[in-house]
């Protein structure tokens, strides 16, 4: 299962299609902070940095505490350099632009 933290429903539908194509599901959380309302344990957690903003470190820490085996992927538009940098500093496993997200998720689901 992919735990997706975003309010962007268009983008969420794209991630859901990728998940479906790879035999898994997506559970959406539209609020950027824990507690997580997912029914299953996520294999991958995807964080929309435009929603998370300054909460990225707390989201990463909470995710690591609750789902230590999950890969954490953070994404934002390529021009949002400060948010991408903050995600790297927070310890995300993968920090990518919107355009890089789909291949990154596919790669993680394929392993």
pLDDT tens, the chain, 111 aa long: 999 999 999 889 989 998 999 999 999 999 887 788 899 999 999 999 998 888 889 999 999 999 999 999 999 988 889 999 999 999 999 999 988 988 888 888 887
The CATH number that applies at residue 15 is 3.40.50.2300
Q: Do 49 and 72 touch, CB atoms closer than 8 A?
A: no
Contacting residues for 21 by C-beta, under 8 A, at least 6 apart? none
CA dihedral 86→32→111→25, nearest 10 degrees, is -160
- The count of domains in the chain is 1
Q: Which domain holds residue 32?
A: 2-110
The strands making up 44-48's β-sheet, listed across from edge to edge, are 26-29, 2-5, 44-48, 71-76, 94-97
């Amino acid at each position: 299962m992919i735990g997706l933290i975003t309010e962007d429903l268009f983008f969420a539908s794209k991630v859901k299609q990728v998940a479906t194509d790879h035999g898994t599901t997506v559970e959406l959380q539209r609020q950027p902070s824990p507690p997580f309302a997912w029914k299953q344990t996520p294999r991958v957690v995807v964080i929309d940095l435009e929603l998370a903003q300054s909460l990225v470190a707390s989201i990463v820490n909470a995710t690591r505490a609750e789902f230590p085996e999950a890969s954490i992927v953070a994404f934002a538009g390529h021009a949002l350099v400060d948010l991408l940098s903050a995600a790297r500093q927070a310890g995300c496993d993968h920090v990518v632009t919107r355009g890089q997200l789909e291949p990154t998720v596919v790669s993680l689901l394929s392993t």
